[in-house]
């Protein structure tokens, strides 16, 4: 199955897709319409809100910082039949994130997150584990870094092929590049291209780190998730 077939239409989002259909190491495929990832729902049009209903979204987990939420409120908070959760991930503010991320090249920053942002990762994954069985969508602003690491962890727990996890992360760059170049015309194009770059090597480095820690299940237990929570997270993508 191609990555194009996993892309979902939620107007006017640029970077929305399903985590279903990924090949696993034992020859299976991950489940569709269970976990979805996207960019900022604050952009939603009426058509986009209708698309959430059509996709069966019951829970939205917003990973943005409080300052982003204040500037651009999430309409999912007011949609009937959707449970909305806000759990800030990776930093408290954009300034904190810039200071943190500038210390690491993109191929290595996921390792720093796994080491230093454990409580926040645990809280997000716990919220997903505790959610209702219907479709759940998680997102940040661009849907590539904060959203990307949660997606990579969930896919790893489902035993998805490493190359497929890496390709899912890298796809964000293709989804965002042209639109961002058009949207931010006053910015140096090279800077925009580097900003949206999502190197596959970053995921492979992350997976190697997890393997050194005893595997994804051992890492999730180490950061505070119970066996039941880990099993429920896995069941999100595996029968």
Q: Does residue 21 surpass a pLDDT of 90?
A: yes
Q: Does residue 91 surpass a pLDDT of 80?
A: no
Lookup: tokens for 224: 């505070």
**What are the angstrom distances between the C-alpha of 134 and each of 53, 107, 114, 126, 225?**
11, 34, 28, 16, 21
> What average pLDDT does the structure give for the chain?
93
Q: Does residue 1 surpass a pLDDT of 60?
A: no
Catalytic, out of 52, 140, 152, 165: 140
Q: What percent of the chain has pLDDT over 70?
A: 97
Residues with Cβ < 8 Å from 116, sequence gap 6 or more? none
Higher pLDDT, 189 or 105: 189
Give me the pLDDT at residue 2, please: 58
Domains of the chain: 3-234 (3.90.190.10)
What's the pLDDT tens digit per position in 39-67? 999 999 999 999 999 999 999 999 999 98
Could you tell me the pTM of the whole model?
0.95
Catalytic residue check, 198? no
Give me the pLDDT at residue 95, please: 78
What's the pLDDT tens digit per position in 67-86? 899 999 999 999 989 999 99
Q: Does residue 204 surpass a pLDDT of 90?
A: yes
Pairing of strands 35-38, 57-62: unpaired
């Amino acid at each position: 199955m191609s990555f194009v077939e996993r892309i979902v239409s939620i107007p006017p989002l640029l970077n929305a897709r399903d985590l279903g259909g990924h090949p696993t190491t034992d020859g299976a495929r991950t489940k569709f319409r269970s976990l979805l990832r996207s960019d900022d729902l604050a952009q939603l049009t009426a058509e986009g809100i209708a698309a959430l209903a059509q996709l069966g979204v019951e829970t939205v987990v917003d990973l943005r910082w409080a300052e982003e939420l204040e500037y651009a409120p999430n309409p999912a908070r007011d949609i009937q039949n959707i449970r909305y959760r806000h759990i800030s991930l990776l930093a408290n503010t954009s300034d904190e994130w810039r200071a943190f991320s500038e210390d690491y090249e993109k191929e290595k920053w996921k390792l720093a997150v796994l080491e230093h942002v454990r409580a926040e990762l645990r809280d997000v994954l716990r919220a997903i584990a505790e959610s209702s069985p219907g479709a759940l969508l998680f997102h940040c602003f661009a849907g590539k870094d904060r959203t990307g690491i949660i997606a990579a962890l969930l896919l790893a727990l489902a035993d998805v092929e490493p190359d497929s996890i890496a390709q899912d992360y890298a796809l964000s760059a293709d989804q965002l590049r042209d639109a961002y170049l058009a949207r931010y015309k006053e910015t140096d194009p090279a800077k925009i291209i580097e900003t949206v770059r999502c190197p596959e090597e970053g995921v492979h480095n992350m997976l190697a780190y997890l393997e050194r820690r005893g595997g994804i299940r051992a890492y999730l237990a180490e950061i505070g998730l119970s066996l039941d929570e880990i099993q429920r997270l896995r069941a999100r993508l595996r029968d």
